[in-house]
Amino acid sequence: GQNIDQPTEMTATEGAIVQINCTYQTSGFNGLFWYQQHAGEAPTFLSYNVLDGLEEKGRFSSFLSRSKGYSYLLLKELQMKDSASYLCAVVDSNYQLIWGAGTKLIIKP
Amino acid sequence: SQTIHQWPATLVQPVGSPLSLECTVEGTSNPNLYWYRQAAGRGLQLLFYSVGIGQISSEVPQNLSASRPQDRQFILSSKKLLLSDSGFYLCAWNPSGQGHSPLHFGNGTRLTVT
């Protein structure tokens, strides 16, 4: 079967750095997405990785290792508004999106 | 620019009543369209997707159905709602033929079946 694993919940302090991990086992791989979802709202696109390595976009970076079936989202200089759920999703060989259950990130002052 | 509209934002319906949720996309042609459901604290579950008018693929057998009567219109329906149909329903789109393109979501419909 296809599986995406993320921690259910993480807590971090305002101004700090947090890394949210995602491991996957899918039938094929055609890219990995990270989305942010604030409570009660729709997900919004953060990043897309299809090649190994780090993609940096402002305070957010996303890393991919295809050989390890592993990705992480790195959030720097955390702000209270970063409190949200972060969803990892993998595009499989049929170009279907396989979603993780999401990681709820709680930011404390 | 492209925009996606989904309504209503919230809905409370009794068990056994019908359902119709509508989604429209503006500023693009022949989009891929999707209906997802998200239960509280859970991941996104793909219900239906469509690559063109009248073309609907169902991912999960249930009492819901979908239709695409026009290129940029996607409708989710049910004849008789169940308690288990409660959840957060999201419509989304991405450009046709670009499976690697990110999904753009509507604001969602919070459905409570009582």
Q: Using a CB–CB cutoff of 8 Å, tell me whether B97 touches chain A.
A: no
Nearest C-alpha of chain B: how many angstroms from A95? 5
Strand partners, B9: none
Residue B65 has pLDDT above 90, yes or no: yes
B99: confidence class by pLDDT, cuts 50, 70, 90 = low
pLDDT tens for each residue of chain A, 109 residues long? 789 999 999 999 999 999 999 999 999 999 999 999 999 999 999 999 999 999 999 999 999 999 999 999 999 999 999 999 999 999 999 888 999 999 999 999 9
pLDDT for the residue numbered A94: 86
Contacts of A37 (CB under 8 A, 6+ apart): A43, A44, A84, A85, A86, A87, A102
Query: Could you say which of B41, B43, B108 has the minimum Cβ distance to residue A42?
Result: B108
Q: Which residues of B touch A50 (CB under 8 A)?
A: 100
A33·B107 Cβ contact <8 A: no
- Nearest chain B alpha carbon to A91: B100
pLDDT for the residue numbered B39: 85
Q: Which residues of A touch B105 (CB under 8 A)?
A: 42-44
pLDDT for the residue numbered B73: 96
Nearest C-alpha of chain B: how many angstroms from A104? 9
Cα dihedral A64, A65, A69, A71 sign: negative
* Rounded Cα–Cα distance for residues B33 and A12 (Å): 36
Nearest to A12 by CA among A61, A57, A78: A78
